[in-house]
A and B are shown apart, each in its own frame.
Chain A
Amino acid sequence: MTVRAKPRRPSGSAQHNPGPKGDDLLQVLVENVRDYAIVLLDPDGKVLSWSPAAQRLKGWATDEIIGQSFARFYPEEDIQRGKPQNELKAAGQDGRFEDEGWRVRKDGTRFWANVVITALRDNNGKLRAFGKVTRDLSERKEAEDKIKKQAQEILEMATIPVVQVWEGIVLVPLIGTLDSARTQQLMERLLQHVTDSGSPVAVIDITGVPAIDTQTAQHLIETVSAVRLLGAEVVLTGVRPVIAQTLVHLGVDLSSVATRSSLAAGLRTAMEMLSLAIVPKADKP
């Protein structure tokens, strides 16, 4: 090889010439590295040569691809937007260009790639070629997408669960901070559930709410009012000491709502409202 990366070094520097032995080893490395596809492009983007890993990744035979434009590695829509040429231009200007995106194989299948294009200049600063190093990140991308999707699902599912805990009693365990969007969602889902199931009592448990402010309290009061308009009652449970303190200091009046410290106490209150009671079995020895 006659070209070297990173031009504009003072000529005469010896560090770039580690001797024939080093060059041979470098060649062995290029040929044997499996995780990176290394492609050498001429200044117009035509393939000069490539490593065996590149052939494995992209699928063309070496003599099929030599002399072809590297645009063939890009999806059709990217070619139309002129992406390959823009990337070369950017690499030519800045010396280096990095991108992550879809690339295509010979058979048309796509893979998610991390691509680094490096401009290779000779000692006079003249552009001689581009080095293109491609890494197949499809697996990582797949895993990332899967995690993202699952996280989204969990978020949607767990945001506001409405649980029918007893005939006539629905429970909403709230977890996490309550903002306006969530409260709106809470209100809609709770009201719908109360109507659909014909449950006269709704228990809202705020054990999992880390902190409460005036606005949150206001949202809760609104929810309670709306549930009452339907003809159902609300019991607010899980009012921890710190929450109770905050509410009193904020001057929030929750006296119109039945509040209980624990969910168990709340359920008992809900049962009382329905004239139900849990009693020990009479025939217990």
Chain B
Amino acid sequence: MSASSITVVKVRDVLLVAMPSDPDDSVITALQEQAMRSMDQHEAKALILDISAVETLDSFFARTISETAQMVSLMGGRTIIAGMRPAVAVTATQLGLPLKRVETALTVERALDMVSLGKRQGSAR
């Protein structure tokens, strides 16, 4: 997969990224780069990662999301991951994967609601 397989969509003041089902390391690295570039360009309020297709969440992916969230936070935005699958949540909890500064939402729609209402909910530990 090439880096271009990640598309960051800007909807009003929100950046939206849909993750593929089995992202490899290069995709994950590209995610961070593109997300940061878009944050800089658009001064977005939030970055929403749709991970409803993702079947496995490894420590590299988790760490990158966490790092990206910290960077986004430094740039004045918030990061919300939406639609995590139950099996992924179980594994993530049992492995104790680091997901600092990341907020969670059941669906992308709810993530958008959270941004528009300015509400904080479901922060992952």
Contacts and interface: CB of A to CB of B under 8 A. Distances in A.
A228 interface: yes
Interface residues on B, range: 20 to 34
Given A191-B90, A225-B93, 19 more contacts: A188-B90, A194-B86, A195-B86, A198-B106, A200-B106, A222-B94, A225-B125, A226-B90, A227-B89, A228-B104, A228-B122, A228-B124, A229-B81, A231-B84, A231-B105, A231-B110, A231-B122, A232-B104, A256-B125
B121 interface: yes
A229 B94 contact: no
A244 interface: no
Interface string A177-198: 0000000000110011011001
B116 interface: no
B93 A222 contact: yes
B21 interface: no
B39 interface: no
Interface in A30-60: none
Given A230-B106, A231-B105, A231-B106, A200 B90 contact: no
B121 A195 contact: no
Contacts of B106: 194-195, 198-200, 230-232
A118 B119 CA distance: 82
Nearest to B109: A198
A187 B90 contact: yes
Nearest to A198: B106
Contacts of B111: 231
B82 A226 contact: no
Contact of B86 (A191, A199, A273): A191
Contact of B84 (A199, A200, A229, A256): A229
| Most chain A CB within a 10 A radius of its CB, from B85, B89, B124 | B89
| Most chain A CB within a 10 A radius of its CB, from B81, B85, B86, B111 | B86
A233 B124 contact: no
A225 B110 contact: no
Interface of A: 187-188, 191-192, 194-195, 198-200, 222-223, 225-233, 256, 273
B107 interface: yes
A229 B110 contact: no
24 contacts: A187-B90, A188-B86, A191-B90, A195-B86, A223-B93, A225-B125, A226-B92, A226-B93, A228-B104, A228-B122, A228-B123, A229-B92, A230-B89, A230-B122, A231-B83, A231-B84, A231-B104, A231-B106, A231-B110, A231-B111, A232-B106, A232-B122, A233-B121, A256-B125
B110 A226 contact: no
Contacts of A231: 80-84, 104-107, 110-111, 121-122
B46 interface: no
A228 B125 contact: yes
Nearest to A190: B86
Contacts of B125: 225, 228, 256
Contacts of B92: 226, 229
Interface string B3-20: 000000000000000000
The 10 A-B pairs of least Cβ separation, nearest first, read: A191-B86, A231-B105, A231-B104, A226-B93, A229-B89, A231-B106, A226-B89, A231-B122, A225-B93, A192-B86
